[in-house]
Structure 1
Amino acid sequence: MPRLLTIGILASIFMLFACQTQPLARSGSKAEDATAGPTKSELTVVNGKYQIMRNGAPYFIRGAGGSGNLKLLAASGANSVRTWSTDNAQEILDNAQKNGLTVMLGLRIGHERHGFDYDDSAAIAAQKEAVRQQVMKFKDHPALLAWGIGNEVDLFYTNTNVWYAVEDIAQMIQELDPNHLVTTVTAGIDAAKANLIKERVPSIDYLSVNIYGGLEDLPQHLLDIGYSGAYVVTEWGPTGHWQVDRTDWDAPIEQISTQKAASYRSRYVSGILGAPDRALGSYAFLWGQKQETTPTWYGVFTEASQPTEVVDSLHYLWRGEWPSARAPSIKELTINGKRADESVHVQRGQHNQASLKFTSHFDKHPDFRWEILPESTDIKAGGDPEKRPQPEKGLIVGDDSRDNITFKTPQQPGAYRLFVYITDSNDKVANANIPFYVD
């Protein structure tokens, strides 16, 4: 199993990959013109080393999923962006081109868990035709890098005929568009799934895998299950809500943003840079914000579009140096002296003390915002949309713009979370939350 490379040599590794990557032309160039025509991307293998070649030059993907603030994405050192569908594709492609980025364009196909039947030949044919139209519409855009057929169609599935449908689409795209790469995206990977894809989907160029906790072991895991080909990690980031420790009432314990930032750095080094002959790059998740278990779990921005310290870590990974102004960081958040892993219980009518240990790299007196939310009950799977819980009002005693507060216990028994956001004058944020239970 590859050993975890030390963060201290990360800059050197970054420079190795950066020098292999030819950036897109910038302002005033022909490449900025969205009518310039397709830029050819292909997969090569020389002496056992897989490599994307774009316009004849080696290309290593330094990307993120999500189409917001592409200017900051490019400034942070990224060169590519991933989508999950062709919604707003023209705008995304044009914006990517203006910012010197490529696009892995997602092609949404049906999920068994949403009711799509992969034994229904008419539905499969209609889906293929819809994909054909999307490919024909966008295949000549100069920012296009690759097509991603579906996203986690294997999540909770039972009908493996889906892979025949994916192959039919992949084969069609290869015929319609010889200039771009074709892949499909899985929810993790195991031997059975890898063998099915190898046997039934030979027309993809490489495998794409979404993986969170466990990314650090992915290079060896792929070899252990018999897959030695090229791969891209198309979603990665914090430890997933299904992978973390839980309270005694079964609430998942979210990493503090500082812990997430460290996870991004270590997992990238081991799971992506740790397999230079096979890993073609990655797309970090999520270059944006969403409600999934909590409003803060996966997005690297807040709901107010402020970058968190994870963005600083991605900048470091992609550029090999920290940004000049770094976000605050959080060491610990407690309620009544207890951490989240100690399962905090409180009583109705009780006043509680929340304490924060933090570091502000830029301001001595950053801004604080506290919020109490009921534990989310609208929990979905595979990133499906969820409703954000509504905040509990009037519980924080006195001024909430401090690093230590007093709050009243909610009247309704049950599960809650206390959130805190630290914002500096650069509008960068560190955040944390701690679950608690009202008995």
Structure 2
Amino acid sequence: MLLSATGRMLACWLLAQALAGCNDQPSTESASSSLAQVELVQRDGNWIILRDGEPYFIKGAGGSRRLDLLAQSGGNSVRTWSTDEAERILDEAHQQGLTVMLGLRLGKERHGFDYNDQQAVAEQKERIRQTVLKYKDHPALLAWGIGNEVDLFYTNTDVWYAVEDIAAMIQALDPNHLVTTVTAGIDKPKADLIAERVPSIDYLSINIYGGLENLPQRLTDIGYQGPYVVTEWGPTGHWEVPKTDWGVPIEQTSTEKAAIYRHRYEQGIAGAPGRALGSYAFLWGQKQETTPTWYGVFTEAGKPSEVVDSLTYLWTGQWPASRAPSVEAFTLNGKTAKQSVHLSPGQTVEVALDYQPGTGDSAIVRWEVLPESTDIKSGGDPEARPGAMDLTFTTGSQPGRMQFAAPTKPGPYRLFAYVENDSGKVATANVPFMVDTP
């Protein structure tokens, strides 16, 4: 069980006063009346974040783009994975009335960091100490996130001792904000290790995609009764979906994603009052991860998808006035993605995309064929985007109908469709296909 945050804050404040003379690196921003006091309390068995004494439920997203739209959509917080551009993000968030869960990057075993190297661990702690002193008095700050998925593919569980050392340090340096660490999913051995070795965090942060709807029961089953925040959640992960018969994952359409966001939020976050403190949806931005459209709620051009409409509904209880297009069906030569589309080199392909334009009477469709990505990483590490094929698309007489000639080079590809309406919102979908060797 996590310690009482209120009691620990008092103890940490007393320790901070005792150590005050040793802090040779004061904050770059002086404390002011705008500094928000954040604490975690338990009332009648329910965990609650209080910000300046008022209950605060996190309606957040991970990312740093379009914070104005995040606020307009009913969001109240943003999460980062590092302190890159921290000052800009904190300032912009404050201007938009948002808070920030500021990520503190830790070295990862899978990237070569050795938690048996005492000097490297000490240098990492000192770097974080300097960072905390620099940003701890910013009025937008809500919480410190120590690391992100340091447990992914790890073998050295001593990393949790390093996390605890940092957490205890932050509690002493900054008693005004919350402290957490972020895991890749959760199971009983991991939860038990963290409870034993990292008592100084205020709550547990969990990244989870498929299975979020069952998270409250899973936590009960493994014996964790404390509070939690879901710090990444969204579409079904590329490792969790059905595959074609040549082994590539089949991506949900933006419409399917919008529906699953609503379902998972209602079950795994809103469905656990008094335990779930809120969440950060993934990704308030765009990135290449398996495909350019899998996780981002925006396109590469910055256009919002139907997922943003769903998040607006979840955060405010109302749909936005302008709605995104939606995808109803997408076939190549009459076959869906789940039917594993095989083509011959140069074969003519008949494409049928059925969609609704959302707000307005019409929408335009943009097409793109990409080779299947070969730069697949893990844990969200950066990937290179495949270059688009130089193909000719012949539009049919009906909306969403098109022909193209398959690439002449055998191999795996994807046809992407981007449907944009007059409000500037977009629906996305893709169908993998294999060009077979003659």
**Structure 2 equivalent of residue 185 of structure 1:** 182
**Structure 2 equivalent of residue 264 of structure 1:** 261
Q: Does 1:275 align with 2:265?
A: no
Following TM superposition, by how much is the alpha carbon of 1:410 offset from its aligned partner in structure 2, in angstroms?
0.5
**Partner secondary structure for residue 317 of structure 1:** helix
- Letter of the aligned partner of 1:93 in structure 2? L
Instruction: Report if aligned partners of 2:31, 2:137 keep a CA contact under 8 Å in 1.
Output: no
- Report Cα offsets for 1:380-404 as digits up to 9, x if no partner: 0000000000000124236899511
Match of 2:319 among 319, 322, 327: 322
Q: Does 1:149 align with 2:146?
A: yes
Cα separation, 2, equivalents of 1:329 and 1:110: 41
- Report Cα offsets for 1:161-205 as digits up to 9, x if no partner: 000000000000000000000000000000010000000000000
Match of 1:424 among 403, 416, 421: 421
Q: Does 1:383 align with 2:380?
A: yes
Instruction: Report if aligned partners of 1:369, 1:400 keep a CA contact under 8 Å in 2.
Output: no
- Report Cα offsets for 1:67-100 as digits up to 9, x if no partner: 1111100000011000001111111001000000
**Structure 2 equivalent of residue 341 of structure 1:** 338
Q: Does 1:210 align with 2:242?
A: no
**Structure 1 equivalent of residue 10 of structure 2:** none
- Letter of the aligned partner of 2:119 in structure 1? A
Instruction: Report if aligned partners of 1:369, 1:401 keep a CA contact under 8 Å in 2.
Output: no
**Structure 2 equivalent of residue 294 of structure 1:** 291
**Structure 2 equivalent of residue 164 of structure 1:** 161
Alpha carbons of structure 1 residues 34 and 265: separation in structure 2 relative to 1, 3 Å: farther
Following TM superposition, by how much is the alpha carbon of 1:363 offset from its aligned partner in structure 2, in angstroms?
2.6
**Structure 1 equivalent of residue 129 of structure 2:** 132
- Report Cα offsets for 1:212-265 as digits up to 9, x if no partner: 010000000001111110000000000000000000000100000000000000
Following TM superposition, by how much is the alpha carbon of 1:61 offset from its aligned partner in structure 2, in angstroms?
0.3
Instruction: Report if aligned partners of 2:78, 2:280 keep a CA contact under 8 Å in 1.
Output: yes
Cα separation, 1, equivalents of 2:74 and 2:430: 29
Cα separation, 2, equivalents of 1:193 and 1:42: 25
Range with greater deviation from structure 2 (395-404 or 249-258) = 395-404
Match of 1:56 among 32, 53, 69: 53
Instruction: Report if aligned partners of 1:395, 1:409 keep a CA contact under 8 Å in 2.
Output: no
Normalising by structure 2, we get a TM-score of 0.91
Instruction: Report if aligned partners of 2:396, 2:403 keep a CA contact under 8 Å in 1.
Output: no
**Structure 2 equivalent of residue 408 of structure 1:** 405
Percent same amino acid at aligned positions? 66
**Structure 1 equivalent of residue 390 of structure 2:** 393
Cα separation, 2, equivalents of 1:232 and 1:265: 17
**Structure 2 equivalent of residue 7 of structure 1:** none
Report runs of 4+ in structure 1 exceeding 3 Å deviation.
33-37, 397-402
Cα separation, 1, equivalents of 2:209 and 2:398: 34
Instruction: Report if aligned partners of 2:254, 2:327 keep a CA contact under 8 Å in 1.
Output: yes
Following TM superposition, by how much is the alpha carbon of 1:362 offset from its aligned partner in structure 2, in angstroms?
1.9
**Structure 2 equivalent of residue 45 of structure 1:** 42
Q: Does 1:101 align with 2:98?
A: yes
Following TM superposition, by how much is the alpha carbon of 1:37 offset from its aligned partner in structure 2, in angstroms?
4.6
Instruction: Report if aligned partners of 1:63, 1:284 keep a CA contact under 8 Å in 2.
Output: yes
Cα separation, 1, equivalents of 2:238 and 2:330: 19
Following TM superposition, by how much is the alpha carbon of 1:349 offset from its aligned partner in structure 2, in angstroms?
2.4
**Structure 2 equivalent of residue 27 of structure 1:** none
**Partner secondary structure for residue 88 of structure 2:** helix
Alpha carbons of structure 1 residues 378 and 59: separation in structure 2 relative to 1, 3 Å: same
**Structure 2 equivalent of residue 353 of structure 1:** 350
Instruction: Report if aligned partners of 1:37, 1:140 keep a CA contact under 8 Å in 2.
Output: no
Normalising by structure 1, we get a TM-score of 0.91
Instruction: Report if aligned partners of 1:370, 1:400 keep a CA contact under 8 Å in 2.
Output: no
**Partner secondary structure for residue 106 of structure 1:** strand
**Partner secondary structure for residue 262 of structure 2:** helix
**Structure 2 equivalent of residue 12 of structure 1:** none
Q: Does 1:76 align with 2:67?
A: no
Instruction: Report if aligned partners of 2:93, 2:140 keep a CA contact under 8 Å in 1.
Output: yes
Instruction: Report if aligned partners of 1:233, 1:283 keep a CA contact under 8 Å in 2.
Output: yes
Match of 1:89 among 82, 86, 90: 86
Instruction: Report if aligned partners of 2:106, 2:147 keep a CA contact under 8 Å in 1.
Output: yes
- Letter of the aligned partner of 1:255 in structure 2? Q
Cα separation, 2, equivalents of 1:52 and 1:381: 32
Following TM superposition, by how much is the alpha carbon of 1:285 offset from its aligned partner in structure 2, in angstroms?
0.3
Cα separation, 2, equivalents of 1:37 and 1:364: 47
- Letter of the aligned partner of 1:329 in structure 2? S
**Partner secondary structure for residue 129 of structure 2:** helix
- Report Cα offsets for 1:382-433 as digits up to 9, x if no partner: 0000000000012423689951110111011110000000000110000100
Following TM superposition, by how much is the alpha carbon of 1:35 offset from its aligned partner in structure 2, in angstroms?
5.9
Cα separation, 2, equivalents of 1:241 and 1:413: 24
- Letter of the aligned partner of 1:56 in structure 2? G
Q: Does 1:362 align with 2:328?
A: no
Gaps of 5+ in 1: 1-32
Gaps of 5+ in 2: 1-29
- Letter of the aligned partner of 2:105 in structure 1? R
Cα separation, 2, equivalents of 1:109 and 1:238: 26
Match of 2:192 among 181, 195, 206: 195
* Aligned positions of 1:114-125 closer than 5 A: 114-125=111-122
**Partner secondary structure for residue 146 of structure 2:** strand
- Letter of the aligned partner of 1:240 in structure 2? G
Cα separation, 1, equivalents of 2:45 and 2:258: 33
Cα separation, 2, equivalents of 1:119 and 1:428: 49
Match of 2:432 among 411, 418, 435: 435
- Report Cα offsets for 1:322-359 as digits up to 9, x if no partner: 00110010011100000000000001121011101111
How many residues are paired up? 407
